[in-house]
Structure 1
Amino acid sequence: MSDTTEYDDELEKKEEALAAADETDETPPADIVAFNELRSCSDLKRLYDAGQLDVQPDYQRDIVWQPSQQTRFIDSLAKQLPIPSMCISLDYKTEKRQIVDGLQRMSAIIKFLSDGKWRLSNLQDIDKRIVNKTVEHIERENPEIYSRVQNTVIPVTVLRCDLSKRSHQEYLFTIFHRLNTGGMKLNNQEIRNCIYSGSFNDMLKDVVASQDFVDLFDVNPERKYRFSNEELILRILAFSDNFDNYKGPLSKHLNAYMAKFREKDEKTIDAQRKIISDAVKFIYNTVLDGEPLPRLSKATSEALFVGVIRNQQKLLASDKKQVKKSYKALRSDPLFSIESLKEGLAAPDRVKSRLTRAVEIFSQ
């Protein structure tokens, strides 16, 4: 087989950069209102307990503070040191609040005020009364420290919005990019997982967790993929549906597709699930004879899937040798060479040319 589509580290970095690119230029919609308020830690905890504050560790499941970082933050609260402000979106139609910036701080607050068994870290630069102590010990032996954490006030910027509106979703996507201040910034799919939560988003995660997908992509349970696989499935579905009208940038195109399916009924979502699940099984069992995919770029992988999905009925009736021949033709096509891919991973003309070629190859 030709080596024109072998993956290299430079191309991988370009694709990772694309997945995190801030390609939005949204201005605030006139009906989004931003205001500041002060909230005590106990008040934030109350909102969380009442289900009015959505703290989704899932969308940052691979980006969490270490126990030492959580401990130092609690120590800062106990010492009433200045705390950076948080940013929260408030959907005024549902009265639901969502952490935009400050998830790790909020998670530490909830942990301290909820888990009496939590033992703080053994650090030399914090209050000695909380060093290596459980929360219940601190509350019992040094109630003034516990009370100080409860009552410490944190500045919060609130974005009052309506997340059923596309313009509000896009603006919040921009805010996530600009305000996220963690040690490792969220990538685009991690942000989508938060903003576009719902049945369609759950379906993406279900497909990625399926054994068929795990087998095809040789998923390593120890590796942190940071929703890159979910984004690949999203790209495949979006481009299989309609790549002819793709105008870029990629992030906005995928956002629009997530928004389109966010409120769809279960029947529609199940149809999407079947499309991608059938393609995964076909590629694994027929194209690759039960072997995992080799290391391919996302652009090549999505083209393979789009070619298969667009020609599904024909391929099911095709000779297996012909299917394999088409796969080899795709792998060796100049459009999928390393150099060609590097020149325009998400450029509309390049994307449409690659996907058109993939559909042509699998239609033969």
Structure 2
Amino acid sequence: MSMSKNDQDIHTEENGQEEEPEGLDTPSESSGWGGDYPLDSVFVRKEHRTVSEVIKRIKAKRFILNPDFQRDFVWSIKKQSRLIESCLMRIPLPVLYVAEDRDGKIVVVDGLQRLITFSRYLDDEFALRGLGEGKADFPGDNLLLGKKFTDLPLNLQERVEDTQLTLCILDSKAPNRAKLDIFERVNSGEPLSRQQMRNCLFNGPATRWLRKASQSKAFLKATGGGLSKKTMRDREAINRFCAFRLLGPEKYKGDMDDFLAKCLERMNETGKEDLENLYHAFDRSMSSNYFLFKKHAFRKSLTETGPGPRKTVINIALFDVCSVIFSKIDPSIVEDNAEKIRAAIIKLLKEDGFVRGITYGTNNLFQVLLRFAWMKKAVEEAL
């Protein structure tokens, strides 16, 4: 089948460059409070705690400070010093937004840099620098320069420790969709992708599994390293594999955000052995897909013939069906029937209905069920 103009304009260079996948439907708009959620729903509560109380909980691992959706710690010493100076000047600090998980632990949604700064300073990991920049912002600036926490007079140490922090806590019982919507509203840093939000809110065995899978050689080879690590497009694709593999397409109700969140909840409650088995199934699938289609795995360009056809970007809906279906077939069977499988899938990708289903409205319930049914039938008939 010759490629349409829409297909042609999504070609990408074959250099492992990260790309925006095709067929990745935008999340459906929330109806918000009064629509999706009752107006009197209380998903956020406010609490006041001192810096020392919060640091105590951090050391007890009640606060989770290292969800890797967050950027590496990037605050300069000057900026960290200014935060400590604000405490000494008794300047009110911005609200911290956190989420409570089912175990009662606290995941930081907005304010991670501030909490890490407090933790580092109270542990004497840096000395105050860059205060005032030659101006008398604070009468004690010159006395503070070069001071670690334990170098401060006792009254100033207590002033830092007793600084009041206001925490807005997202309740663990809030619906998954509400958590993402609230997260999106309150995060004041660089805009985060929905997968980065999920990585924070469902931090645990599931997110560690996704991270490991995204680094596997088989996955990187099959995808050509084409899915963004920074925005976690790679982990989002793998999250979709896990959801359709563990929960099944029949459990999908039309809300991809909720479906992926339920998958992560399930994985966080799954035993280590079952997660290992899932990893091996995923790895086998990646190897089988690469064996069948080489650099064109999960791409519409797998239908191309002739010398050196250029590859299109990854199609996320094609990734869904091919990753799940081949995770259930022994690689030796795939190898023995490779030519027939290739022919069957190429034929399927010449069907206008199937192509539309993996290109437009890919989160639509009907389209999801249809593409899984068509691909399953095509592969089964080839075996």
* Cα deviation digits, residues 67-124 of structure 1 (max 9, x gap): 2654543443333222122233456x84533323322322222232234336645884
After superposition, the Cα gap between the structure-2 partners of 1:237 and 1:89, relative to the gap in structure 1 and judged at 3 Å, is closer
Structure number with higher helix proportion: 1
**Hey, what's the Cα distance between the residues in 1 that align with 2:132 and 2:358?**
49
Deviations 1:143-185 (A, max 9, x none): 76655433321112345x5x5xxx5462772465255322223
Is 2:308 aligned against 1:303? no
Q: Which residue of 2 aligns with 1:271?
A: 277
- 1:98 equivalent to 2:98? Answer no
* TM superposition score normalised by structure 1: 0.77
Aligned-partner residue type, residue 237 of structure 2: L
- For the residue of structure 2 that corresponds to 1:185, the secondary structure is coil
Please say which of residues 315-324 and 141-150 is displaced more in the overlay.
141-150
Q: Deviations over 1:110-143 (max 9, x none)?
A: 232234336645884865938995552x753777
Residues 239 and 171 of structure 1: CA distance in aligned 2, closer, same or farther (over 3 Å): closer
Amino acid at match of 2:117: A
In structure 2, the CA distance between the partners of 1:267 and 1:87, relative to structure 1 (3 Å rule), is: same
Specify which of 214, 239, 243 is matched with residue 238 of structure 1. 243
Could you tell me which runs of 5 or more consecutive residues in structure 2 were left unpaired when the two chains were aligned.
12-18, 300-310
CA contact under 8 A between 2:240 and 2:260: conserved in structure 1? yes
Amino acid at match of 1:39: R
Is structure 2 residue 26 aligned with structure 1 residue 18? yes
1:3 matched to 2:21? The reply is no
Percent of residue pairs identical: 18
Partner amino acid, structure 1, of 2:378: I
Asked if the contact 1:307–1:360 (Cα under 8 Å) also holds between the matched residues in 2, the reply is: no
Please, which of 197, 207, 211 is the counterpart of residue 205 of structure 1?
211
Residue 262 (str. 1) matches residue 264 (str. 2): no
Aligned amino acid, residue 119 of structure 2: I
Q: Encode CA deviations 1:296-345: one digit per residue, 9 max, x unaligned.
A: 132232233234235557942633333333454455553565x7655313
Find the partner of 2:50 among 40, 61, 64. 40
Give the letter aligned to residue 334 of structure 1: D
- Are the aligned partners of 2:195 and 2:233 in contact in 1 as well (CA < 8 Å)? yes
Structure 2 contact 64–108 (Cα < 8 Å) conserved: yes
Provide TM-score, normalisation by structure 2: 0.73
- CA–CA distance in structure 2, aligned partners of residues 355 and 198 of structure 1: 29
Of 113, 116, 137, the match for 2:122: 113
Q: Distance in 2 between matches of 1:256 and 1:66?
A: 34
CA offsets, 1:206-230, max 9 Å, x none?
1112222222223389x64333212
Distance (whole Å) between structure 2 residues aligned to residue 225 and residue 330 of structure 1: 33
Higher radius of gyration, 1 or 2: 2
Which letter maps to 1:114?
D
Measure how far apart 1:47 and its partner are. Answer: 1.4
Map 1:1-364 → 2, pairs under 5 A:
2-4=2-4, 5=7, 8=10, 12=20, 18=26, 25-27=36-38, 35-61=45-71, 65-67=74-76, 69-90=79-100, 94-117=103-126, 120=129, 124=133, 129=141, 134=146, 136=148, 140=151, 147-159=158-170, 163=172, 167-168=173-174, 170=176, 173-174=179-180, 176-219=182-225, 224-241=229-246, 242-288=248-294, 294=311, 295-309=313-327, 312=330, 315-316=333-334, 318-329=336-347, 332-335=350-353, 337=355, 341=358, 343-363=360-380, 364=382
Cα distance in structure 1, aligned partners of 2:31 and 2:128: 42
CA RMSD of aligned residues (A): 4.1
Task: Identify if the C-alpha distance between structure 1 residues 169 and 361 changes in structure 2 by more than 3 Å, giving closer, same or farther.
Answer: same
- Structure 1: gaps (5+ residues): none
| CA–CA separation in structure 2 for the residues paired with 1:16 and 1:148 | 50
Counterpart CA distance in 2 for 1:85 and 1:322 is 60
- Structure 2: distance between partners of 1:157 and 1:358: 46
The answer to whether the 8 Å contact 2:199/2:207 transfers is yes
